[in-house]
Chain A
């Protein structure tokens, strides 16, 4: 690497500047964090709050699986079960999977990867985090109110969500606030990418993670307001009984489903696109090869954002749409598989003849491809009209979306965490333990979710509290899987937390990456770069492979 392109502040040394964790403070203690406008600190605030919510969500999921280990009542009554699966869904979707990658790693690394000192609107960025926490707490507050949390499922389907006596309003308002936070983050990232790229960083020199965040930002901006107004309408229905979705007053409940899915389907891509971006970062680094088909991966992100917005009604094949609408949405659903497949093929092509190193981030990235492929294929199966009607609202769906969301985005988050941990905290975790935790997570995951495809295909409906003895064996395996998975989570997080305290000091470039974030010290200084870099090379240029590895060793 020539000095002008990629080396700043003398590899690994912090020069005269303190890193962002120790830079001069305006406030002391916790206020130094929650009033900080530094994008890196905000990223870590998101990380901590998101993982806290994740822990609650995992606990709820664990309780559900425990209830389902045998037919009949095991540990809770049906009403509690309904409330727990709703809260599990709301927390995991709105508080973990949607903000997971953009808000945590996007905040931390987007400005660094494009050579900027911060995002375009640092104060707005902090405000988004405040909204995120407020929204999360509003949603969770229903746990402690009389009536308990909502029991509607995370989709809040009308008319039940208007009639139930549980606390639907806090969940709705919480989701509304979270949507606002998501919009502001997207808006901030788009403006940042347009305005703050370093000199020389043309659109096609931008790392693919930045591209995926750009596509995500547009989906966030264009789709989220619709769910905002929809949730608001449900709240208005509950408060005033206006009747917009109530057939007795002239309304149409199916309209609710259209409005809900016109956001919530694109939201699936808010969840998966940044994860795909992370995988596109990790695969070239650990195969020591330039990514195959850079432009195709970049454009396929935009294509997914576009097509993904046109397929919402495939969630509604059984509600009674016209035949034309059904086959049209089925066709569009198949189309959206093309850009996703382009990405998978390009990752595999990058691995081909690569010098693969199975470090922890790579293991998570490879399991992402594995899980996402299964999730994607089962998604295609549901896109087919006839099959969709057979498996609609069965455990097949539960299996599918857990493969995509947890197996995809969840593993993407773990991959990102292991990939960037040394950069974020300047410490290295125990790689051996990380690999063991990966093994537990991977095996536990397959055991937990694969039986769902089988029992769903055999007719086990989703969201049911009780089931026929025929399904016992599948539920049993699944529950055992949940224990293995949770063991993996405990090992993984213990390992990372211990690394924070006792970990070895990490080098500036422990993996031999060539994007901008690996050219600055770990952890980064307050303003990221001592001098704004001038970018001359492609983002995944491994033509100077030996030199990169040599520098990485220092």
Chain B
């Protein structure tokens, strides 16, 4: 704040930007927290039906997606490190891989969901409505929670694409990489939420 000029005033505070991002991530966690709470309530009410319904999900596809997302978090972190070491090309390569993995995740999700749809398992279908209440709720939660997560993947994907362009143009660079770091934080959040969704829906019976 020492170099305060008269009428145009450029303010840069990387620590502040990071605090802001963490506060925002809190709100995202609480948003999903609401859903996890609902999940907990219904799992408690319909334990057996949840176990039964969860066997419908394809653990293999879930596992692939978990690996894809975990790897994408790694490449994201490496992209930031590469940029900090002033290796723009390598940073772009890693960021590109992250974007690729994000896309792969969505493709996978698409096939998973459409398979369910073909089996008639979607909200409001006769197939689903004929099941016991516990299973209806399970699939309802499955679609809402993984759907909400998928929306976050899409938002993350768009943010990462912007970052890719910014790095190419040099707007985000070795001396100013806080935007990339914050995007990375967001991407890790998307990853972490999936880490919770995966066992809750696919693994525990």
Contact = CB atoms under 8 A, between A and B. Distances in A.
A242 B11 contact: no
Interface stretch (B75-83, B110-118, B138-146): B138-146
A224 B17 CA distance: 21
Interface string B140-159: 11011000000000000000
A259 B141 CA distance: 16
Nearest to B19: A191
Contacts of A539: none
Interface in A507-545: 526-527, 531-532
B24 interface: yes
Contacts of A124: 20
Contact of B20 (A121, A122, A236, A255): A121
Contacts of A243: 123, 136-137, 140
Q: Which of B27, B37, B41, B129 has the most CB of A within 10 A?
A: B27
B23 A187 contact: yes
Majority secondary structure, B binding face: helix
Contacts of B181: none
B46 interface: yes
B165 to A, nearest CB: 18
A240 interface: yes
Interface stretch (B1-9, B58-66, B85-93, B190-198): B1-9
B144 A242 contact: yes
B52 interface: no
Contacts of A230: 34
B1 A532 contact: yes
B38 A191 contact: no
A532 B17 CA distance: 21
A244 B141 contact: yes
Contact of A222 (B17, B26, B133, B134): B26
B15 interface: yes
Contacts of A531: 4
A120 B15 CA distance: 11
B204 interface: no
A225 interface: yes
Interface string A118-133: 1011101000000000
B30 A225 contact: yes
Contacts of A259: 34, 37-38
B129 to A, nearest CB: 8
B30 A226 contact: yes
Nearest to B8: A24
A445 to B, nearest CB: 36
Given A117-B11, A191-B19, A195-B19, A224 B144 contact: no
Given A250-B42, A255-B38, A233 B20 contact: no
A285 interface: no
A218 B143 CA distance: 31
Contact of B23 (A17, A221, A226): A221
Interface residues of B, number: 41
B9 to A, nearest CB: 6
A43 B128 CA distance: 51
Nearest to B29: A225
A122 to B, nearest CB: 8
Interface in B22-59: 23-24, 26-28, 30-35, 37-38, 41-42, 45-46
A240 B128 CA distance: 13
A526 to B, nearest CB: 6
B137 A250 contact: yes
Nearest to A248: B133
B23 A527 contact: no
A233 B16 contact: no
A contact residues, range: 35 or more
Contacts of B11: 117-118, 122
Nearest to A226: B34
A17 B16 contact: no
A259 B37 CA distance: 9
A278 interface: no
B144 A251 contact: no
B13 interface: yes
A225 B28 contact: yes
Interface string B161-191: 0000000000000000000000000000000
B19 A252 contact: no
Contacts of B9: 117-118, 527
B32 to A, nearest CB: 8
Given A187-B24, A195-B16, A250-B133, A242 B30 contact: no
A249 interface: yes
B46 A188 contact: no
A195 B28 contact: no
A221 B30 CA distance: 9
B136 to A, nearest CB: 5
Contacts of B34: 225-226, 229-230, 259
A532 B30 contact: no
Contacts of A224: 27
A183 to B, nearest CB: 5
A241 interface: yes
Q: Which of A229, A252, A259 has the most CB of B within 10 A?
A: A229
A242 B11 CA distance: 47
A266 to B, nearest CB: 12
B133 A244 contact: no
Contacts of A233: 38, 144
A113 to B, nearest CB: 17
Interface of A: 17, 23-24, 117-118, 120-122, 124, 183, 187-188, 190-191, 194-196, 221-222, 224-226, 228-230, 233, 236, 240-244, 249-252, 255, 259, 526-527, 531-532
15 contacts: A118-B11, A120-B16, A183-B27, A187-B27, A196-B13, A196-B16, A222-B26, A222-B27, A225-B31, A229-B34, A233-B144, A244-B137, A244-B141, A250-B136, A526-B7
Given A225-B28, A225-B33, A251-B137, 13 more contacts: A17-B6, A17-B7, A191-B23, A225-B31, A229-B34, A230-B34, A240-B124, A242-B144, A244-B141, A250-B45, A527-B4, A527-B6, A531-B4
The 5 A-B pairs at the shortest CB distance, nearest first, are namely A250-B133, A242-B140, A229-B34, A225-B31, A195-B16
